[in-house]
């Protein structure tokens, strides 16, 4: 679906079957909780970004690489653009998202079907200031019934910006993703592959393991989750018998938050560790021993130096 038929194949789009190879960087942008990470995982067909229902789960710039015979699409998952970013961590996340958009060949602006909030408009305004081509993706169409109810929403969305395309999808149900990949590919430059065909992300195993632990923390703690919470892998050792020993620190901002994470008699931390260990074991294909510690780094989410020490890159 496109804003208007006579402009949908603008830029350097080339019909399929011409033997042309395209590749480029595609930044996903939008307000928090519109399904950017779910969409990246669905397009890559593997989990490269953690997903929870809590806004601002994504804190880093993460690549998800889709390789096809005629194209390589390098997706850049970014934190949700949000207003009132008073803390250093929030400011970091906004800078990360804006920087990714500025450097990309194409931006996917993600919105939730049937919802347009003030934060959507604020995010769109930021994205438009980068003056990059924008393809709008209407996600979560599985929540709209009957589907004809989507048409007025898409029509209104088309009037908000000069999008090169508008594509409705359900990342969760994997609906219309092939169409989305085709439209992305059509708007990328003619170029060879950027990464090896077998590579699916730019992130290390240590980073992915830390993110898995943070995901399990978020799912287990829900509303109790301290916002100033981060995970750092302190040790990663493969033993002679094929096992992997991992030690990780869960950083919180205040002493009182340790009890929240640990739980009564340590049961909550055990549950979190068990869930994380099982997923890491499946990812590595090896037995895993995971040791978790909870430590305090006072107000680290407001401290630029502490952010850098915990792996939050400067942008």
Domains of the chain from N-terminus onward: 5-186 (3.40.50.300), 205-309 (3.30.300.20)
How high is the pLDDT of residue 4? 39
Q: Which long-range contacts (CB under 8 A, 24 or more apart) does 65-69 make?
A: 65/195, 65/199, 65/200, 65/201, 65/202, 66/181, 67/193, 67/195, 67/197, 68/181, 68/185
Confidence category of residue 7, pLDDT binned at 50, 70, 90: very low
How high is the pLDDT of residue 5? 39
Is the per-residue pLDDT at 8 higher than 60? no
Share of the chain above pLDDT 70, in %: 87
How high is the pLDDT of residue 208? 96
Is the per-residue pLDDT at 13 higher than 50? no
Who has greater pLDDT, 108 or 91?
108
Confidence category of residue 249, pLDDT binned at 50, 70, 90: very high
Is the per-residue pLDDT at 141 higher than 50? yes
Who has greater pLDDT, 307 or 110?
110
Average pLDDT of span 107-135: 95
How high is the pLDDT of residue 74? 97
How high is the pLDDT of residue 14? 45
Q: Are 312 and 60 in contact (CB under 8 A)?
A: yes
Who has greater pLDDT, 219 or 44?
44
Average pLDDT of span 201-225: 90
Is the per-residue pLDDT at 20 higher than 70? yes
Give the range among 54-63, 69-78, 101-110, 157-166 with minimum mean pLDDT.
Answer: 54-63
Share of the chain above pLDDT 90, in %: 68
How high is the pLDDT of residue 225? 66
Interval 215-245: pLDDT, tens: 999 888 877 766 678 999 999 999 999 999 9
How high is the pLDDT of residue 80? 77
Average pLDDT of span 128-156: 95
Give the range among 18-22, 177-181, 197-201 with minimum mean pLDDT.
Answer: 18-22
């Amino acid at each position: 679906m496109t804003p208007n038929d006579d402009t949908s194949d603008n830029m350097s789009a080339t019909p399929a079957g011409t033997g042309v190879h395209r590749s480029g960087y595609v930044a996903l942008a939008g307000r928090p909780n519109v399904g950017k990470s779910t969409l990246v995982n669905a397009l890559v067909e593997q989990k490269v970004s953690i997903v929870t229902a809590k806004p601002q789960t994504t804190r880093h710039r993460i690549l998800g690489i889709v390789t096809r015979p005629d194209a390589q699409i390098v997706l850049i998952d970014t934190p949700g653009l949000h207003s009132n970013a008073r803390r250093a961590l929030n400011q970091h996340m906004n800078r990360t998202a804006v920087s990714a958009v500025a450097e990309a060949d194409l931006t996917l602006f993600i919105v939730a079907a049937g919802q347009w909030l003030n934060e959507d408009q604020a995010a769109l305004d930021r994205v438009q200031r980068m003056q990059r081509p924008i393809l709008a993706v209407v996600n979560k169409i599985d929540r709209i019934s009957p589907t004809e109810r989507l048409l007025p929403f898409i029509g209104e969305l088309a009037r908000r910006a000069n999008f090169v395309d508008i594509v409705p999808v359900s990342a969760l149900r994997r609906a219309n993703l092939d169409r989305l990949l085709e439209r992305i590919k059509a708007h990328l430059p003619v170029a060879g592959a950027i990464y090896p065909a077998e590579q699916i992300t730019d992130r290390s195993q240590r980073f992915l393991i830390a993110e898995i632990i943070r995901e399990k923390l978020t799912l287990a703690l829900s509303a109790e989750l301290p916002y100033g919470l981060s995970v750092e892998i302190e040790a990663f050792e493969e033993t002679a018998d094929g096992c992997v020993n991992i030690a990780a620190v869960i950083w919180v901002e205040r002493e009182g938050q340790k009890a929240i994470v640990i739980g009564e008699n340590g049961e909550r931390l055990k549950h979190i560790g068990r869930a994380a260990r099982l997923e890491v074991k499946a990812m590595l294909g090896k037995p895993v021993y995971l040791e978790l510690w909870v430590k305090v780094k006072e107000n680290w989410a407001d401290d630029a130096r502490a952010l850098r020490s915990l792996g939050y890159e400067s942008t």
